[in-house]
Amino acid sequence: MRVLVLGGDGFCGWPTSLYLSDRGHDVTIIDNLSRRKIDVELEVGSLTPIRPTSERLHAWREVSGRDIGFISLDLATEYDRLVTVLTELRPEAIIHFAEQRAAPYSMRNTHAKRYTVDNNVRATHNLLTALVATGVDASLVHLGTMGVYGYGWSGSAPIPEGYLTVKVPTPDGEIEREILHPANPGSVYHMTKTLDQLMFAFYAKNDGLRITDLHQGIVWGTQTDQTIRDERLINRFDYDGDYGTVLNRFLMQAAIGHPLTVHGTGGQTRAFIHIRDTVRCIEIAVTNPPENGDRVRVLNQMTECHRLLDLAKMIADTMGAEIAYLPNPRREAEENELIVRNDQFLALGLNPTTLSEGLLEEGKEVAARYKDRADVTKIVARSVWRAGMETSEDLLKELPAS
Ligand code: NAD
Ligand code: USQ
């Protein structure tokens, strides 16, 4: 299959591109390398040494004998070039990872809020209009987020896959309707994903575009069977306060002797998925597209839910780390329940990788191997959700660090 991977230089997009190439698909990446540029802006880098894009692609050709194409293009601003690429390549499937994806970065300041909205909303809308304008009948798989549902809104009710059945009172009695699950974003970034959902619903209804929206949980882990084949293929590992996600951060913090940075009580429960399952889920979604005229297919792409404090305690116990309970820089519920339906992926053959299966070892090993590259001044989360909120810096100064 001819597959276009938008955002294919990123943490999820790179291993997905290699996986699909390895499985025989003809892969072309589009990326404007904005994520690498944000590293420069934040004066931080991936814990793992990621190579320049051309070197990565060359290494893949050497180890696999397969070519992956690369086009440097900004989806949010280069609409005409996007139209040309779609017309020339005529992809059968498009996977859309190309958005600013960090919630803390999106709350950092006014510039970052505006950039996140401008970049994400325009990128998605440009793609949808370009598909209509070119008549390219590719199925579109978008990486959305569990965060569109919010946390704790429906108490202990399981989160359904995208749609909720509701009863609407009418003068003639109640009627049943299926609606998009109410959106309850917790950051400007998450808000852009809820806007994406509406655009998808409209273009599926109006133009018959074939769209799958994957509501993905927090991705953890680093390597896949493909990225591990050569050090030049290594995946990125974000650990800083803006881009690092919680489980990888805890692993890295334990590896360098930094206290585990639990926000608030640690009673937040979140959905997780390992990067190896991310790439498998995406192939499943790409090979099972909806039909023209179908509503947007929504699948919850996660394998397990954990309370953050349980994760912190498990890592602290096995790696001998301390736990620091820090003022929460975010506006979020201190505690929530979370039960998530993921029946569709299980029915389509996903065999979930779970925390208990030794993959923590891989995370520990990667974090320990590259710990000398860590800048400890970048670990504490500094982006606060509202001006005046307390940050953790003073508190952490009193705690032992590496
Ligand atoms: P990432 O930042 O590592 O990768 C995103 C890639 O898109 C980067 O390489 C970036 O340069 C590129 N990009 C951004 N804007 C672009 C534009 N306008 N034009 C062209 N390229 C652009 O992020 P990631 O962790 O790989 O996440 C990928 C997608 O998956 C995101 O949409 C994110 O919302 C979603 N997601 C990620 C996670 C996670 O835990 N990492 C969880 C759920 C959902
Ligand atoms: N947290 C800590 N300590 C830390 C870092 C985070 O306690 O050092 C807490 C946060 O306060 C939050 C939870 O851990 O309660 C998750 O934070 P995160 O940074 O791991 O994840 P999040 O901001 O939700 O975003 C990540 C990805 C995003 C994706 C989302 C999936 O960056 O792209 O959409 O996970 S989900 O959370 O399911 O919406």
pLDDT, tens digit, 9 for 90 and up, residues 93-139: 999 999 999 999 999 999 999 999 999 999 999 999 999 999 999 99
Q: Which of 100, 116, 145 to mutate to test the pocket of ligand 2 (most atoms within 8 A of CB)?
A: 145
Q: For the chain, what is the domain count?
A: 1
Report if residue 366 sits inside a domain: no
Predicted confidence band of residue 359 (pLDDT cuts 50, 70, 90): confident
Neighbour count for residue 37 (Cβ, 10 Å): 10
- The model's pTM is 0.97
Residue 299 lies in a domain: yes
Beta bridge partners of 298: 213
Asked if residue 257 is part of any domain, the answer here is: no
Ligand 2 nearest-atom number relative to CA 104: 23
Q: What is the pLDDT of residue 274?
A: 95
As a whole number, mean pLDDT of residues 342-367 equals 88
In a domain, 297, yes or no: yes
Q: What is the spatial distance between Cα 219 and Cα 295, in angstroms, rounded to a whole number?
A: 27
What pLDDT shows up at residue 152?
A: 82
Average pLDDT taken over every residue of the chain = 95
What six digits make up the tokens of 20? 């699909």
Q: Is residue 314 part of a domain?
A: no
The verdict on whether 189 is a catalytic residue reads yes
Q: Is the distance from CB of 177 to CB of 168 less than 8 angstroms?
A: yes
State the pLDDT at residue 265. Answer: 97
pLDDT beyond 50 at 402: no
pLDDT at 388: 82
Q: Is 13 in the pocket of ligand 1 (CB under 6 A)?
A: yes
pLDDT digits (tens, 9 = 90+) for 205-245: 999 999 999 999 999 999 999 999 999 999 999 999 999 99
Has residue 394 got a pLDDT over 60? no
Q: How far, in Å, CA of 277 to CA of 283, rounded?
A: 10
* Residue 400 pLDDT greater than 50, yes or no: no
Give Cα 275 to chain centroid, integer Å. 10
90 belongs to a structural domain: yes
Nearest-atom number in ligand 2 for the CA of 260 is 8
379 found inside a domain: no
CA distance 32 to 82: 12
Give which of 300, 293, 400, 394 is closest to 348, Cα–Cα: 300
235 in ligand 1 pocket by Cβ < 6 Å? no
The CATH number covering residue 351 comes to 3.40.50.720
Q: What is the atom index within ligand 1 of the atom nearest the CA of 119?
A: 18
Is 179 part of a structural domain of the chain? yes
More confident residue, 57 or 397: 57
The mean pLDDT of 59-82, rounded to a whole number, is 98
Domain that holds residue 27: 2-237+271-305+339-356
- The protein residue with its alpha carbon nearest to ligand 2, atom 39, reads 147
Rounded Cα distance between 188 and 194, Å, is 10
The yes-or-no answer on residue 145 being catalytic is yes
DSSP 202-248: HHHHHH---EEEEEE-EEE----TTGGG-GGGPPP---STTT--HHH
